[in-house]
Amino acid sequence: MDWMKIVAAMAVIMFIVFLFPRARDMMENSPKGTSADWMSFIIPIVVIVLFVMLLIQLV
């Protein structure tokens, strides 16, 4: 095995060991979304989907 692959595998393992507990803590303590937050996400997505459908119809 090449030594670069071993170093890369060790780096990936270190990232998982150090970042996973912090990511889990951030998920548990993050603010929850309200319905207004979800609507501000859904409306642009629907507009983009409709625009793409329009572009497909024009081809």
Q: For position 14, what pLDDT does the model report?
A: 94
For position 1, what pLDDT does the model report?
67
CB atoms < 10 A from the CB of 55, how many? 9
Burial class (CB in 10 A: 0-12, 13-18, 19+), 13: exposed
Cα separation, 8 vs 54, in Å, equals 45
What is the reported pLDDT for 35?
87
Query: Rounded to whole angstroms, what are the CA distances from 13 to 5, 39, 59?
Result: 12, 38, 48
Predicted local distance difference test score (pLDDT) of residue 17 = 92
The residue count for the chain = 59
pLDDT one digit per residue (tens) for the chain, 59 residues: 688 999 999 999 999 999 998 989 998 998 888 888 999 999 999 999 999 999 999 99
